[in-house]
Structure 1
Amino acid sequence: MAEVEETLKRLQSQKGVQGIIVVNTEGIPIKSTMDNSTTTQYANLMHNFILKARSTVREIDPQNDLTFLQIRSKKNEIMVAPDKDYFLIVIQNPTDEMNLTEELQMEKGKQT
């Protein structure tokens, strides 16, 4: 668990990161740096979106799986690293120039 805490601290310290949410496979937030209302909103909406995206990827190619999802709007950039037991959701300000996407993908690679 200490490794998870260290990873979350490192991600949260990145410039522009507004929040981090860890959601289990049922869509229930198990860890968050955001308030309860915002956490619940993101967890519910992103859980449904991730399930649909994963299903779409598998429909296109049954041998494939969703490994990373990035959504960018004018106000936020939402990055999701799904795993078999949880989803890691990071919300950041898209105007801050950084390469958090690569760091998230590297973290995902360490756990597989």
Structure 2
Amino acid sequence: MARTSAMPSALSEVENTMNRINMHPGVQGLFVTMADESSGEYGALKTRVLFRDEESDVAMKRDQYSACCTALATQAKTATRDLDPTDELKFIRIRTKKVEIMIAPEKDYTLFCVQDPNAKA
């Protein structure tokens, strides 16, 4: 991935955000994907995955979560743009019985958080 002067700033912002979110109760995992400037494709940022428990279901399925969430975010961005070219996707939240997935797309990266929806604050 080609690096630009904006990349270190984005990485610092990502690190700070991930550390802050990881302190919240119920967070099971955090993923970050960054756009490859040459292709515009998104790929998992090297080792920027945090888990509370490496043996958890989320940790064991890290590649599957990362791939599915990235595809979902890409399709949601496309659908938003197709519905209204002047609009922009800001946040996606999906809640199931077992997990809640939150996706926050930014210009240089997309942050994914998987948490237990039943965790007590």
TM-score (norm 1): 0.76
Structure 1 contact 27–44 (Cα < 8 Å) conserved: no
Query: How many percent of aligned residue pairs carry the same amino acid?
Result: 35
Counterparts of 2:74 and 2:14, CA distance in 1: 23
Structure 1 contact 12–20 (Cα < 8 Å) conserved: yes
Task: Work out whether 1:38 is the aligned partner of 2:70.
Answer: no
Q: Which runs of 4+ in 1 moved over 6 A?
A: none
Counterparts of 2:43 and 2:12, CA distance in 1: 21
In structure 2, relative to structure 1, the CA distance for the partners of 1:14 and 1:71 (3 Å cut) is same
- Alignment match of 2:99 (pick from 55, 68, 76): 76
Structure 1 contact 69–81 (Cα < 8 Å) conserved: yes
Which segment is superposed worse, 19-28 or 34-43?
Answer: 34-43
Say how many residue pairs are matched. 98
Structure 1 contact 29–39 (Cα < 8 Å) conserved: no
Counterpart in the other structure of 2:15: 5
Structure 1 contact 27–43 (Cα < 8 Å) conserved: no
Residue 24 of structure 1 deviates from its aligned partner by 1.5
Cα deviations by residue, 1:28-65 (Å, 9 ceiling, x for unpaired): 22110146753221111111111111111111111001
- Give, as a single letter, the amino acid of the residue that structure 1 aligns with 2:31: I
The structure with the larger Rg is 2
Counterparts of 1:68 and 1:82, CA distance in 2: 7
- Give, as a single letter, the amino acid of the residue that structure 1 aligns with 2:74: L
SS across alignment from 1:45: helix
Task: Work out whether 1:22 is the aligned partner of 2:32.
Answer: yes
Where structure 1 has 5 or more consecutive residues not aligned to the other structure, the ranges are 99-112
SS across alignment from 2:98: coil
